[in-house]
Every structure is written in C-alpha cells, then in structure tokens.
C-alpha cells in the first residue's frame, strides 16, 4: 500500500511550515493579545506591485497595496483575547514591521517567514521567543521590547544587523568577536552568557548594554572610540586601563561593575576619572559608575570628580 509509511510523519513540509512549505499561502508571524476595545497598529513598508492581506484574527481584514512606506494599519478589537495575525499574498516582500499599542507573542521561527524584513520593532510587554538563528536574514534594525526570551549564539545574528535591542529574560551566548561587523548598538537584558575581550567589539559600536552572567574581559582603553553608552554588569572581569589614553567621544553612560578576578586598581580608577575630566565635558543626566570589584579611588582624583560633578554628571565609586 502506498501510504503504509504514514505521510503525516514523513511529509518534508512539516519541519518548519512557516518558512519552507511552498504550498502555504499565508503566514502567522504574531498573536495579538488585546484588552477589550484596544487597537493594534502595524506600521508596514511594501514595494510597488506587491499586495498583502492582513487577517486580524477577529473576522476583519485589511488589504495593503504597495508601494507603501512606513504606513500605519489599525484594527480595534471588541473583546479581549488572543488573536493570530495572518498575512497572505506577498508577505515575503514586506520590508518593515512595527507593532504598537497591543502586546503580542510569537516566535523567531514565525517572524522568519517575513524573509524580506529589514526593520522590526515591537513595543510593549511582549513575549517573543526562539533562536536568533531563525530571524529574517536581512534584518538591519531589530528592537524587541517586553519580557522576551530569545536564545541562541550571537554568531547567528543577521550579518547586516546594525541595531539590536532585546529586553526581557533572554539567554544569548557566544563570543563578542562574532557580533555583526557593522553593529552600532547592542543591548540585551536577561541571563545572557556572552564572553570575549572587549578589544574585539565591532569598531563602529556606539552603544553597548549587556546584562546577565557575561564574562567579558579586557582593557577599558580598547573600547570602540565612538562609544557613547557603556553598561557592563554580570560576571565580567575587565581589569585594565592602559595609559596614556585620550577620550574623543563622551560615554554619557559609563557603568563598569566587574567581579573577581577583574577590576581596575586605585591608580587606574584615578587616572580614568582624571582623563574623563581632562578630555571631555559632562552634562546633566550623564552617569559614571565604577563599582563591583574595582578598587576605591584616592584623593588623587578628587579635583577631577569635583569638576565632573559640577558639570552635572553623577559619579559613583567604591
């Protein structure tokens, strides 16, 4: 009998129907979770001669006819609930998806069906999950707000990514050497376990926020020269500040909280603060935090700290 092998278990399209099934005429990248009367907004971009139909999951549909660039499409839900959002037509040609005003959940595998996506933003208390290897390969800008639980090795982030922000309980891993070379902003909260020498951060990086159980190491003087935000906690062992060093860009947020065997010496802390004072002008809202296993500063940096604080910056040391 031809069906003795059970076609449902041997069907090659069951592995990942969102991205591999050529017969599937729609995708479902997210589920909306509105409260009663809440309006979901999807900001979309679609090239000319392309059409996408949005099924909002409550019986309402909207047609998107390209070309459109950063246009808002909305749907108001009468009742609270969970509504799968389906897209049919040329959904693989969408280049921008921005989700606003309603919390959503979903997976990177489902988002991966939007293979042409280059820009993705998800605002709110969302719960997206999955391996970053399944994100659309052409992404250049990705922001995941909420209680997300993304996982995977940063080696597998989209190679053209220049902004990646993911808040929540993520578990990313890998050596920072393997971050995308063109990355400018990287922020990842949660229980991440990134490793590597900060010398190997992308040269054009301007913002680094890295929480979790990371084990970054290296010399502060080797941070990217254009860095404006540096927030490094976890199990990092950054332990040196080589001088002479000139700061050409102000890191308006500079928080270094290493653990043993890391930490700067008293002489290094003093010199870092003196260099910050000599090379840079600070302002209200700026923050310098040098705690953790960093040594306490001495009176040698009193004048520098006084000047920095007078300019409006908050300075916290051991």
DSSP 129-184: EEEGGGS-TT-SEEEEEEEEEEEEEGGGS-TT--EEEEEEEEEEEEEGGGS-TT--
Residue 255 and residue 277 in contact, taking contact as beta carbons nearer than 8 Å: no
Measured from the Cβ of residue 292, the count of other Cβ atoms closer than 10 Å reads 21
pLDDT tens digit sequence for 133-167: 999 999 999 999 888 889 999 999 999 999 999 88
**Average pLDDT over every residue of 187-212:** 91
pLDDT digits (tens, 9 = 90+) for 206-221: 999 987 788 999 999 9
Instruction: Decide: helix, strand or coil at residue 258.
Output: coil
Question: In the chain, how many domains are there?
Answer: 2
pLDDT at 36 over 70: yes
Cβ contact 59:79 at 8 Å: no
Same domain, 76 and 96: no
- The answer to whether residue 90 scores a pLDDT higher than 90 is yes
On whether both 6 and 114 belong to a single domain, the answer is no
Same domain, 25 and 135: no
Rounded Cα distance between 163 and 272, Å, is 28
pLDDT at 13 over 50: no
Residue that finishes a domain, picked among 73, 89, 105: 89
User: What are 109-126's pLDDT values in tens digits?
Assistant: 999 999 999 999 998 788
Predicted TM-score of the model (pTM): 0.87
- Rounded mean pLDDT of the chain? 91
In which element (H, E) is residue 124 found? strand 119-131
Do 44 and 107 fall within a single domain?
Answer: no
Q: Identify the domain containing residue 252 by its residue range.
A: 90-317
């Amino acid at each position: 009998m031809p069906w003795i092998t059970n076609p449902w278990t041997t069907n090659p399209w069951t592995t990942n129907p969102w991205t591999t099934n050529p017969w599937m005429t729609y995708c479902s990248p997210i589920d909306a979770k509105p409260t009663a009367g809440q309006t979901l907004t999807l900001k979309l971009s679609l090239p000319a001669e392309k059409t996408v139909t949005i099924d909002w999951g409550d019986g309402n549909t909207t047609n998107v006819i390209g070309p459109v660039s950063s246009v808002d499409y909305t749907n108001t839900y009468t009742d609270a609930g969970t509504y799968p959002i389906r897209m049919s037509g040329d959904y693989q040609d969408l280049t921008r998806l921005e989700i606003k005003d309603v919390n959503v959940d979903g997976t990177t595998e489902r988002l991966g069906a939007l293979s042409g996506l280059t820009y993705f933003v998800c605002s709110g208390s969302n719960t997206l999950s999955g391996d970053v290897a399944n994100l659309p390969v052409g992404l250049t800008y990705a922001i995941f707000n909420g209680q997300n639980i993304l996982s995977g090795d940063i080696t597998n982030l989209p190679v053209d990514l220049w902004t990646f922000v993911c808040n929540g309980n993520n578990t990313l891993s890998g050596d920072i050497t393997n971050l995308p070379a063109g990355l400018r902003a990287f922020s990842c909260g949660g229980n991440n376990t990134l490793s590597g020498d900060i010398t190997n951060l992308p040269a054009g990086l301007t913002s680094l926020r890295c929480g979790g159980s990371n084990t970054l190491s290296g010399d502060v003087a080797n941070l990217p020269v254009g860095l404006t935000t540096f927030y490094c906690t976890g199990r990092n062992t950054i332990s040196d500040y080589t001088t002479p060093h000139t700061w050409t860009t102000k890191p308006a947020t500079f928080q270094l909280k290493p653990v043993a065997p890391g930490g700067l010496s008293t002489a290094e802390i003093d010199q870092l603060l003196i260099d910050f004072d000599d090379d840079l002008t600070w302002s209200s809202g700026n923050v310098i935090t040098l705690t953790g296993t960093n040594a306490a500063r001495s009176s040698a940096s009193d004048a520098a700290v006084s000047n920095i604080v007078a300019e409006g910056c908050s300075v916290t040391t051991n």
